A and B are shown apart, each in its own frame.
Chain A
């Protein structure tokens, strides 16, 4: 895989041509909407150096110890003993065969049919027991308090924020998605559109130093209404005057800046999206997760016409804080996630972009291996997932924890001590995205505390 910044003369000229084509379409010139769209489609599928990272955040703390479960007798018995009423029956699990044998066999949650199929095809990798760490920690070190730990473990917003930032223990850390976008934004040819796009509202993950997230709705960008005709033009003119006026209060400045970006980028994005043919891939209906991923796919389809070489997207699905009613809730959550991811991968194949786009599925923490009777509570380590043609899939990376309560991996009540740090996982993605090896420890200041800085799931 090419990680270089090098000049891309061929791409640039193609982009210029496409810009002309789009302009022609907008002017109603001889290239019709359909013709223009198929040119765009051809461009994106041929764009070999383009890369997009899509971070899918399972908010609330994904109980991933029910996502991937050991199926051979001993470990399954440990799992069942720890999980009690929340254990998935052995026979219901979807068996997977990881390329690397760690002595156990595994199965996926019965609702993850789409993801299981991607695993079987070598397009999906599991990284086991990942969590926020400052440096590796053993149970005895944890008990003795002899190693620095991420502050405020087990708290939602704190762990969420830490998992999204370049270091768990630094209050003013930037988001790791924003940090890697900062590193590679220069490849985007000066586009006014940020490389970082969230389709799920504000997120610290995409807050960099030089790059900030653009917010996109699930049905695309939105234009200010009522600005047509004479009265609309007059209104538009005064809106522009008001937002350009100097403000002494930073909140008013911020509002003016956001309004300006919204107007400018809407015109850029909507003209690109309007010129693209609809995807034929069918995303699950009535699913907000699918709607978000569908929007990401539509944006990836027009990356060529927007002149973008690197993009980071943020999507979010909530509802994973399964303190109660977990047995009923989890199948619904996983069914939605799995079907949405399967459709997204299919859409990438349709665009010919499946090797250019990597989807990472992460969460603020795993949940307690033990049950509270109706569900699970806030834990620490949990499994992360990566999906894409560039992923060395069909395998489990990192180390599975023991499924024994009060065992060596249990910090208490089945809050499992992570065996891989979030920073290692994120840095592996950053390296694939094109951050040079020498820059990784600058981007992730705690990375040097860990032995392995790239986990192998991106080849």
Chain B
């Protein structure tokens, strides 16, 4: 093991940190070269003892799994997964503390620095690139594309800490229970501002004023039950005439809008004005709540006289208990992690786990995540149905994956990348509307439409973004390699030692990159073209250090290629 570490740490490194974690069936030892102190960064080596029984079939299987369940594989994770197995991996992910954004912003403020949305973006990059709680981070990002708030809304634009706190709410709840998360989201002041139930008060019929319907509508349409009644497998449930059945009516929205009254900032001295607290859940003022009787979803009576909290609890229970929630949420999470077009049977298997995780609990997101990632369709869909399985990678996630794989660091310790939406068409909590960057049922005209498939991520893959994203990958590669003369303290410097060592062996270089960047899925024609390209590139091409041009070209060509853009 000493030898193995020697390969991973820079020559002469002596300071090591050690972190140990004892699991039920064994243990885990993590070691790092980044200094004597464990600062929570990625380990350079980890060892699980008490070998797992459910091992990945291959390194490629482990890599594919990590593309689906994390922001991208790194060497130690593939090796650790291969030794400890999936169960141990999930168990460890379930116990890692959440990497949060707001503490970073608070630290900046404490140091007298200004905090804007730029700093929130830095904190996001920090969490997703370096957080060890990768399953939680990937789930939180997926949830941020379902339970959407956005700093593009004017009122949230100048609330970076409030928006970071919202993301932290998703991060804390990502592996918990969906009912709890729904409540936390509903009471979040960021959501209260974004969908305007904050300071929403009971109607004033004499003056033709009604409660605000915004949150009531989107809570049902986008966060819980959707527009039409679903079977457990996600297909529409039909009435006797073969028609789809709407889940709710305008009257249901108006009834629910009355529930969503009486909430304002925590600690506010006045219901309608006062200094906002963006960092604590909203609080209710009964005198601004409509406490009349309400009927939720056409059949569930909320009696008169309930407090705002009781009304909200009861309404959320009704929505959470609706049979649509399992298939509705399962489909969306499968699409974010694994495949745009899951089979109905896959949706049903995951939705069943949502309904009951095996212990009788409904809405257990940790078990839902496990069900999504361990499903046979996730593990073997690339072999069983290669023409329909998979998804277009989100360009933002690909960028994170590049930095994770090549262990990129800036001298400042900060990832200073503020406006990824200009390059990738997306950035954390920066969607143009509550409908996210893309719709779950988006169909781009062309081959996808002809095949009868959906492909949500193509909604942001415009002629412009397909080029600007490639240009951004290029910039982040060709101006960040070891020895690049134009770098500065903000440059995310890539570590390419493993790749440079393979530069004189093109087939091995491409095989290595195929494993890490494509989960081993590269077709023979592409492999041959890349090997040909590397062979034709001299070791000293581009006036770069030996082998660098070869390595950079190979990475760039993979991440911009049609096959590399597809996650299978």
CB distance from A313 to the nearest CB of B (A): 15
Q: Is B539 an interface residue (CB 8 A)?
A: no
**Which single member of B392, B451, B562 contacts A259 (CB below 8 Å)?**
B562
- Residues from 177 to 222 in A contacting B, C-beta threshold 8 Å: 198, 201-202, 207, 212, 214-217, 221-222
By a CB distance below 8 angstroms, the chain B residues around A371 are 208-210
Are A152 and B246 in touch, CB under 8 angstroms? Answer: yes
Are A258 and B463 in touch, CB under 8 angstroms? Answer: yes
By a CB distance below 8 angstroms, the chain A residues around B463 are 214-216, 221, 258, 261-262, 265-266
A57 and B532 CA atoms in complex are apart in Å by 48
**Which single member of A231, A253, A324 contacts B562 (CB below 8 Å)?**
A253
CB distance from A166 to the nearest CB of B (A): 15
Given A155-B217, A231-B549, A318-B432; A373-B562 close (CB under 8 Å): no
Contact with B along A151-162 (1 / 0, CB 8 A): 011111110000
By a CB distance below 8 angstroms, the chain B residues around A235 are 533, 553, 556-557
Chain A residue nearest to B563 (CB atoms) is A252
Q: Is A250 an interface residue (CB 8 A)?
A: yes
Q: Is A13 an interface residue (CB 8 A)?
A: no
Chain A residue nearest to B389 (CB atoms) is A249
Are A249 and B471 in touch, CB under 8 angstroms? Answer: no
By a CB distance below 8 angstroms, the chain B residues around A282 are none
Q: Is A257 an interface residue (CB 8 A)?
A: yes
Are A254 and B458 in touch, CB under 8 angstroms? Answer: yes
Contact with B along A261-283 (1 / 0, CB 8 A): 11101100000000000000000
By a CB distance below 8 angstroms, the chain A residues around B466 are 255, 258-259, 262
Are A318 and B433 in touch, CB under 8 angstroms? Answer: yes
Q: Is B413 an interface residue (CB 8 A)?
A: no
Q: Is A2 an interface residue (CB 8 A)?
A: no
Are A202 and B565 in touch, CB under 8 angstroms? Answer: no
Contact with B along A234-256 (1 / 0, CB 8 A): 11001101110111111111111
CB distance from B482 to the nearest CB of A (A): 18
Are B470 and A221 in touch, CB under 8 angstroms? Answer: no
A249 and B340 CA atoms in complex are apart in Å by 12
Q: Is A377 an interface residue (CB 8 A)?
A: yes
Q: Is A72 an interface residue (CB 8 A)?
A: no
Q: Is B90 an interface residue (CB 8 A)?
A: no
CB distance from B288 to the nearest CB of A (A): 10
Are A254 and B455 in touch, CB under 8 angstroms? Answer: yes
Are A201 and B462 in touch, CB under 8 angstroms? Answer: yes
Q: Is A402 an interface residue (CB 8 A)?
A: no
Q: Is A135 an interface residue (CB 8 A)?
A: no
By a CB distance below 8 angstroms, the chain B residues around A82 are 208
Question: Which segment of B94-102, B107-115, B199-207, B485-493 sits at the interface?
Answer: B199-207
A235 and B560 CA atoms in complex are apart in Å by 11
Are A222 and B464 in touch, CB under 8 angstroms? Answer: yes
CB distance from A248 to the nearest CB of B (A): 5
A59 and B530 CA atoms in complex are apart in Å by 44
Q: Is B212 an interface residue (CB 8 A)?
A: yes
Chain B residue nearest to A197 (CB atoms) is B463
Q: Is A329 an interface residue (CB 8 A)?
A: yes
CB distance from B561 to the nearest CB of A (A): 5
CB distance from B173 to the nearest CB of A (A): 25
A12 and B445 CA atoms in complex are apart in Å by 31
Are A324 and B250 in touch, CB under 8 angstroms? Answer: no
Are A252 and B541 in touch, CB under 8 angstroms? Answer: no
Chain B residue nearest to A156 (CB atoms) is B435
A212 and B446 CA atoms in complex are apart in Å by 9
CB distance from B388 to the nearest CB of A (A): 8
Chain A residue nearest to B439 (CB atoms) is A157
A158 and B218 CA atoms in complex are apart in Å by 13
Are B462 and A202 in touch, CB under 8 angstroms? Answer: yes
Q: Is A286 an interface residue (CB 8 A)?
A: no
CB distance from B183 to the nearest CB of A (A): 21
CB distance from A267 to the nearest CB of B (A): 12
Chain A residue nearest to B340 (CB atoms) is A251
Chain B residue nearest to A83 (CB atoms) is B208
Contact with A along B450-475 (1 / 0, CB 8 A): 11010100111111111110110011
Q: Is A374 an interface residue (CB 8 A)?
A: yes
By a CB distance below 8 angstroms, the chain A residues around B227 are 152, 155, 158
Are A221 and B464 in touch, CB under 8 angstroms? Answer: yes
Are B471 and A224 in touch, CB under 8 angstroms? Answer: yes
Are B448 and A254 in touch, CB under 8 angstroms? Answer: yes
**Which single member of A198, A243, A254, A368 contacts B444 (CB below 8 Å)?**
A254
Contact with A along B387-419 (1 / 0, CB 8 A): 111111000000000000000000000000000
By a CB distance below 8 angstroms, the chain A residues around B566 are 249, 251-252, 255
Q: Is B536 an interface residue (CB 8 A)?
A: yes
CB distance from B60 to the nearest CB of A (A): 17
By a CB distance below 8 angstroms, the chain B residues around A215 are 462-465
A155 and B219 CA atoms in complex are apart in Å by 12
Q: Is A349 an interface residue (CB 8 A)?
A: no
Are A378 and B533 in touch, CB under 8 angstroms? Answer: no
By a CB distance below 8 angstroms, the chain A residues around B467 are 222-224, 262-263, 266
By a CB distance below 8 angstroms, the chain A residues around B445 are 207, 212
A254 and B566 CA atoms in complex are apart in Å by 10
Of the candidates A250, A319, A323, the one having the most CB atoms from chain B within 10 angstroms of its own CB is A250
Are A157 and B435 in touch, CB under 8 angstroms? Answer: yes
CB distance from A57 to the nearest CB of B (A): 12
Chain A residue nearest to B193 (CB atoms) is A324
A247 and B212 CA atoms in complex are apart in Å by 49
Are B562 and A256 in touch, CB under 8 angstroms? Answer: yes
Q: Is B478 an interface residue (CB 8 A)?
A: yes
A243 and B470 CA atoms in complex are apart in Å by 13
A22 and B166 CA atoms in complex are apart in Å by 54
Q: Is B131 an interface residue (CB 8 A)?
A: no
**Which single member of A60, A207, A256, A372 contacts B211 (CB below 8 Å)?**
A372
By a CB distance below 8 angstroms, the chain A residues around B253 are 154
Chain B residue nearest to A218 (CB atoms) is B464
A174 and B553 CA atoms in complex are apart in Å by 41
A225 and B560 CA atoms in complex are apart in Å by 12
By a CB distance below 8 angstroms, the chain A residues around B461 are 255, 258
B residues with CB within 8 A of A: 154-155, 195-196, 199-201, 204, 207-214, 217, 221, 227, 246, 250, 253-254, 340, 386-392, 425, 432-433, 435, 439, 442, 444-448, 450-451, 453, 455, 458-468, 470-471, 474-475, 478, 523, 525-526, 529-530, 532-533, 536-537, 541-542, 549, 553, 556-557, 560-563, 565-566, 568
- Given A250-B448, A257-B446, 13 more pairs with CB closer than 8 A: A201-B460, A207-B445, A230-B541, A242-B562, A251-B447, A251-B448, A256-B562, A258-B463, A259-B466, A323-B213, A373-B211, A375-B212, A405-B208
A residues with CB within 8 A of B: 59-60, 81-82, 84-85, 152-158, 198, 201-202, 207, 212, 214-217, 221-226, 230-231, 234-235, 238-239, 241-243, 245-259, 261-263, 265-266, 318-319, 321, 323-325, 329, 368, 370-375, 377-378, 405, 412-414
A-B interface, 8 closest residue pairs, ranked by CB to CB distance from nearest: A215-B462, A324-B196, A253-B447, A215-B463, A256-B562, A323-B214, A250-B451, A323-B196
Give 25 CB contacts A-B under 8 Å: A84-B209, A154-B250, A156-B433, A202-B442, A215-B464, A224-B470, A224-B471, A226-B471, A234-B536, A234-B553, A239-B561, A242-B557, A243-B562, A251-B391, A251-B447, A251-B458, A252-B566, A254-B448, A255-B392, A258-B462, A262-B463, A323-B195, A324-B214, A373-B201, A378-B213
